[in-house]
Structure 1
Amino acid sequence: MNPIPEPATRLIVALDFSEAEAALAFARKLDPARCALKVGFELFVVAGPDLLHRLHGLGFRVFLDLKFHDIPNTVAAACRAAARTGVWLINVHASGGEEMMRAAHAAVRETNDTTALLAVTVLTSSDAGTLREIGVNREPAEQVRLLGELAVRKAGLEGLVCSAQEAAMLRRLLGEEPLLVTPGIRLEDAGGDDQKRVMTPERAISAGASAIVVGRPITRAADPSMAMEAFITRLQKSE
């Protein structure tokens, strides 16, 4: 299995839609040779696995972003079911612990050899204040380091979902092999929405990101195709 995307497909477009047909109509305007797609909670709850099969039918790699977090047996069963759909990436919360992640990884690997399992470290909508609210008295970068080592070195996962702000540190710590997927990517003139730890495409790739996730700056743009091309151009310049 080689989960690392080719340079031309380092862009993962988040399908921020509440209806399957709207998501599919948008996807049909995109080139699967130039981007992958991400399906999150709302769209998956509305559309279910059938949407994944339809996106695969259009030729897209799909990141199923459901961030499983529960007891090991439950998460393993969910990951096994997700892997059966043939998606490219699935993820769990690293804060679920080593036992949970090991069980999930074993379930994925025994199901197919084309799905990579990632661990979410610290959400890009979180900052030090957010962590303190839940009793974590570490800076985000330190928490990311701890969870990144736990997920990749100890539990054996293929990679991480992390802020691009921590990508360089994780590359130094974990080497070149893990897949680092970084949401919270914005152009300089864009707002952060509810993202707090953001970075531009070039800086993300230079820091060590394998792929970037972009949602609303593309899906809600006045001209989504032009917005996507702007991100692709920036990614190409960063190679």
Structure 2
Amino acid sequence: MRLRDTLAGAASFYKVGKELFTAAGPRAVSEFASVGRVFLDLKFHDIPATVAGAVRASAGLGASIVDVHASGGRPMLEAAVRAAWSTPAPPLLLGVTVLTHFDRESAAEVYPGISIADQVLNLARLTRVAGLGGVVASASEAKKLRSTFGDDFVLLVPGVRPRWAAEAHDQRRVATPGEAARRGANYIVVGRAITRHADPRTAALRIVEEIGG
């Protein structure tokens, strides 16, 4: 909560991920939703009925963006869409494609015979057909996704780190805020570059300035 208050005016969108949600539960969403919008990043991946219930619950908490794994398949994705639109304030649903910690070698163990870029495109097509609003994908794929699916397809890009941030992280397909914006991102996710900075507010404002440039 201290970090939230420190960032007031510098950030208006907050990500609640697995660590915070597991530690603090639904209260974490409501606390941040009271001052801004919330991206509930729990990457739902289960049978259709379970994911539908989770999406409805997420909307009830006030989440503005909710993500589900596109690899859960079309029935699961369509169930998520129906659940979202059954709520009074439907969240934007995004399909998670290939996580940013994958590089070519590690991805080959999970997606044999297909490149990361092609797998991301395949999952994005499935996401769009199922009726979701866009995808979560790295900046490496953003430009191709934007040219393929047009301006109305939302791209949320994680793995974003300013050049001045500390380099210790476990992501492989990364970009700076400016690079992600130029490649077509609608939203970027920045974590440790802000949360572990000696002056988080200044870090956030520097990132906003870079995007604006």
Q: Tell me the TM-score normalised to structure 2 length.
A: 0.95
* Larger RCO (alpha carbons 8 Å, 6+ apart): 1
The question of 1:118 aligning with 2:94 is answered yes
Pick the aligned partner of 1:159 from 134, 150, 155: 134
1:192 deviates by 5.7
1:54 maps to which residue? 31
Secondary structure of the 1:205 match is: helix
Aligned partners of 1:41 and 1:221: how far apart in 2?
A: 21
Aligned partners of 1:78 and 1:203: how far apart in 2?
A: 33
1:183-198 alignment runs, 5 A limit: 183-190=158-165, 191=167, 193-198=169-174
1:35 deviates by 3.1
Aligned partners of 2:171 and 2:54: how far apart in 1?
A: 27
CA deviations on 1:165-218 (whole Å, 9 max, x unpaired) are: 111100111110011110111122442610100011111111100011000011
CA contact (8 A) 1:161 1:182 kept: yes
The question of 1:44 aligning with 2:17 is answered no
Tell which deviates more after alignment, 112-121 or 205-214.
112-121
Aligned partners of 1:78 and 1:113: how far apart in 2?
A: 15
Tell which deviates more after alignment, 28-37 or 172-181.
28-37
1:33 deviates by 6.6
CA contact (8 A) 1:32 1:61 kept: no
The question of 1:93 aligning with 2:92 is answered no
Secondary structure of the 1:37 match is: strand
Secondary structure of the 1:133 match is: helix
**Stretches of structure 2 lacking an aligned partner (at least 5 in a row):** none
Aligned partners of 2:89 and 2:202: how far apart in 1?
A: 35
1:168 maps to which residue? 143
The question of 1:228 aligning with 2:210 is answered no
1:11-90 alignment runs, 5 A limit: 24-32=1-9, 34-57=11-34, 59-90=35-66
1:155 aligned partner, one-letter code: A
CA contact (8 A) 2:7 2:200 kept: no
Q: Tell me the TM-score normalised to structure 1 length.
A: 0.85
Aligned residues: 212
Secondary structure of the 2:189 match is: strand
Q: 1:189 to 1:53 in 2, by over 3 A?
A: closer
Aligned partners of 2:148 and 2:89: how far apart in 1?
A: 26
CA RMSD across the alignment:
1.4
1:104 maps to which residue? 80
Tell which deviates more after alignment, 26-35 or 124-133.
26-35
Q: 1:193 to 1:162 in 2, by over 3 A?
A: same
The question of 1:204 aligning with 2:174 is answered no
Aligned partners of 2:62 and 2:70: how far apart in 1?
A: 22
1:11 maps to which residue? none
CA deviations on 1:47-90 (whole Å, 9 max, x unpaired) are: 11112112122x21000000000111111111111111121100
**Once the two structures are aligned, what percentage of the paired residues are identical?**
44
CA contact (8 A) 2:14 2:37 kept: yes
